[in-house]
Each structure stands twice: as structure tokens, then as C-alpha cells.
Amino acid sequence: MSAANDSITNIFKAYDIRGKVGTELTADVAGKIGQAFGNWLPKSDTKPVIAVGRDMRPDSGELADALIEGVRAAGYNVWDIGEVTSDMIYFVVGHYGLAGGAMITASHNPGVYNGIKLCREGARPIGEDTGLYDIRDAVIKGEFTTAETKGAIATKDVVEDWIQHTLSFVDVDKLKELSIAVDAGNGMAGKIFPEIEPYVPWEVTEMYFELDGTFPNHEANPLKFETLTDLIKVIKDNKLDGGIAFDGDGDRAFLVDETGEVLPGSVMIALLAEYFLDRFPGSAILYDARVTKSIKELVEGRGGKPVRTKVGHSFIKKVMREEDAPFGGELAGHFYFRDNFYADSGLIAAVIGLYIAGLRDMKLSEIRKLYTKYPAIPETNFEVVDKPAAIARIKAAFADDEHDELEGLTVTLKSGAWFNVRMSNTEPVLRLVAEADTQSELDEIVAKVTALIKAA
């Protein structure tokens, strides 16, 4: 295989396309991906529409233009929806009944990277098992079909429809007045969040709303709590009710309480699960294999059906459809909604979270404490050269305990404490989460597993 083909193979990940700008992901490659995508989508007697959006990275416009030309060469009409958040591409495809969508973004990755997220009709994901690698293979082989008539292109402003859709998840008249800071991280939320402000009774301190794909202030990844230092300082210094931190493409959001503590993914899942079980009693609620066991307890206690899944949006969206689940969540801050075409949205999650806090007349810190039942560690990364060997050591050391391999290796001890270790698909890294009934037991488990991971 040639170096060029190796490069194309490397940029196709499990769920999307990511590569270094100018060397791995070029305009030429984006054009080929666009045409292969158009060729791959189900054919129709009419010329259906593919929506194309982009983030604020310096080269996103060039990549979007190239991909659009590829899509048009395949015979599809295009809606160019401009600079948007990633969750908006899913909304547009689902809401308007389009054939598919493409978003030019590398999410929270540094500015030297860019990428492409693809979906098909109904906002269904396109991942490694659902067509992404077929598109990759067509690009590598250069196997394209060019339509007799090139597709047309039109610009489409979808922002107002998106804002009204987001607000449909709450009773706007019952939103309470709040003073909050919002950190957009120079990402796409900086363009979209101001559009919702006229509709909500919140006094907003805007932080890093200037679109800048070089991310001059901090990495736009709220999962790394160290990136929230500035937001936390503004909240504390101004005695605000809390804040919201978005990632680079705006599809993930974390709430921060008035004390400067983050509401982690498990807390948000619990909060939103309860909200949707109140609205849809007896429903299934999805959560990934890394979240606290208290989610299962909460869902069962509310008469719902807890469904534990693998990590990854393609798995969760598939199972949500099968279970007709109104809500699903991941530890990493992706929150999925049936009435959002089973897609995730940081903005919808944040709006609902602040809405619930207002309805209950509770501080965000009180909500955080309410749903933090067991001591736990956040997902922690360890650099490991031989990942399978490390997993084997852990299996052997905990041979007498319960194992499952739905997602990596989850070990449940007789005490009820548990931990999960999983391998990164793209890095020499093992990721560890752990939870126990007491802090002392948690510390003991983490110390033991850490030693096994680091043993060579």
C-alpha cells in the first residue's frame, strides 16, 4: 500500500474522520470523500439533499467547499448551512428529511487537526460498522461514479429553527432567572449560544466567544477539567449561579456549579434520566459501561429500564432506536435525545439541566451532591506500550471476581465496588474508571490496578 493510501487509512477512525491539516486531510482528499459519500448513500429517482456544515477552523471553509463539490459530482443537491455546531447537522438532516449530512470539524482536537463527521437519513450515524470504511475503501481505490448532471447548491440558515427545537425540550415560561458564565472556548458555541440568549431569562457572561480555530485561550475540551480554570474564576469572583463549558464543535457541554465544581457526566446522566422518566414513565434509559452504578439503581427505582451499552455514539444511537429510549448518556459528556433524532446535543443538555435546577429551586452544587452517591475517580489515562499484557495481568489478579467485557474489562468485586479498564483505539493508552462504597476501598482498588498497569 502506498504512503498516500496509508495516510487515508489512518484518518478514518471508528466514528469519524480526523487528520492533520495539509498533510493527511487536504482539500483533494475531502473532495474524494464527498464524492464517495454521495456514491455510497442510497440512490433515489430524485436529487435528494445533503447538508454540509463546518466549524471555525482556518481551513474548514476550504475543506467544506471541496467536499461539497465532491457531493455535487455524485449528483446530490447540497444545502450549505455554514458555520454551525455539530449537533445542528444531525438536527438539519432529521428535521428536514434530508438524505445525509457532513460536518467539517475535529471537535476539541488542537488546531493542527481537522475532520469530517458523516450521517445518513434520519441523522443515523455512519461509523466503522455502518459504512464509513466502505467510503474509505472507495477513496483509496479511486472508485467514483460521476452523475450526468451535477447537483445544485443552496445556502440555508437553520439557526432559528435549531433554537426553537432546543427550547421545545422545556417549558420556556418556567425557566428561572440565573446569572451564569458561558465558556465557548473560541469554538462554535460562541456563534450559536448568543442566538438563544434573547429567549431565556439568564444574565450571561460570555467567555471566549470569538471564533478562533487556533484555540488561543485553552483547549476546547471541558472533559479536561484543567481547561475550566478561567470559567471557575469568573463564577467565583462574580458570585454567579454557575456556568456552562462547551467543546470546540459545541456538541458537548458540562455544567459548573456556583462553587466552581464540575457536574460530571454521571451526575448529568442521573439528572436527565430522572427528568425523562418523569415525562415518559417506564422508559428505557441508556448509559455507557463506565458510569456509576447509581444510575442503574436510580432508573430501576423510578420504574424504568436501565440499559448498559458500549461506549460510542453509533452503539448508543442504535440501541436507543431498538429500545425507543427517550434519553441516553455517556460519561464523556455526550447526551442523546430521542426527540432530537436520537442524536446528542450539548446545548439541549445544558438548557434542560438549568431548567431542572430552576424548577427545583436548587443550587447546582446541591444537584451535584444529590446525585453523587459513591466515591469514584474520573476516567484516568495511563501510557502503556503493551496494552493487552496489562489487561491480562489485571484479569489474573482479579480472577475470583466477576468480569464482563462489554466495553474493555469491567471487574465487579464481591463488595460491590467495580472498575473498568479499556484500551484506546488510537493511542498507547489504557483508561481507568473505578467506584466503591468508601473512599478507603476506592483508594485501595486504584492503587492495586495502577500497579498492575504500570508493571512491566
Model confidence over 251-281: pLDDT tens digits?
Answer: 999 999 999 999 999 999 999 999 999 999 9
If asked whether residues 102 and 180 sit together in one domain, one would say no
pLDDT of residue 116: 98
Domain end: 357, 373, 389, which one? 373
Look-up of cell digits 450515524: 125
Cell numbers given for 274: 430522572
107 has catalytic annotation: yes
Q: pLDDT tens for residues 8-27?
A: 999 999 889 999 999 999 99
If asked whether residues 237 and 349 sit together in one domain, one would say yes
Q: pLDDT tens for residues 397-436?
A: 999 999 999 999 999 999 999 999 999 866 789 999 999 9
If asked whether residues 189 and 314 sit together in one domain, one would say yes
Instruction: Give one word for 142, left, alpha or beta, with left for phi > 0 and alpha for psi -120 to 50.
Output: left
Domain end: 157, 176, 205, which one? 157
pLDDT averaged over the chain? 95
With bands split at pLDDT 50, 70 and 90, how would you rate the model's confidence at 3? low
Domain end: 157, 188, 223, which one? 157
pLDDT of residue 426: 62
Cell numbers given for 156: 440555508
If asked whether residues 163 and 130 sit together in one domain, one would say no
Cell numbers given for 353: 439541566
If asked whether residues 278 and 147 sit together in one domain, one would say no
Angle between helices 387-397 and 439-454 (to 10 degrees): 130
If asked whether residues 20 and 77 sit together in one domain, one would say yes
If asked whether residues 395 and 342 sit together in one domain, one would say no
Range of the domain at 428: 376-454
If asked whether residues 430 and 306 sit together in one domain, one would say no
Look at the chain and report how many structural domains it folds into: 3
If asked whether residues 139 and 182 sit together in one domain, one would say no
Pairing assessment for the beta strands 178-183 and 202-207 based on DSSP bridges? parallel
Among 88, 75, 102, 91, smallest CA distance to 16 is for: 102
If asked whether residues 137 and 179 sit together in one domain, one would say no
CA distances from 374 to 370, 418, 436 (A): 11, 11, 6
If asked whether residues 402 and 437 sit together in one domain, one would say yes
If asked whether residues 171 and 120 sit together in one domain, one would say no
Give the contacts of 299 (CB within 8 A, at least 6 positions apart).
273, 277, 285, 305, 306
Residue among 60, 86, 107, 283 flagged as catalytic = 107
pLDDT at 47 over 80: no
* 450: CATH: 3.30.310.50
* 370 membership: H or E segment, kind and range: helix 364-370
Q: pLDDT tens for residues 67-108?
A: 999 999 999 999 999 999 999 999 999 999 999 999 999 998
- Predicted structure pTM score: 0.95
pLDDT of residue 363: 98
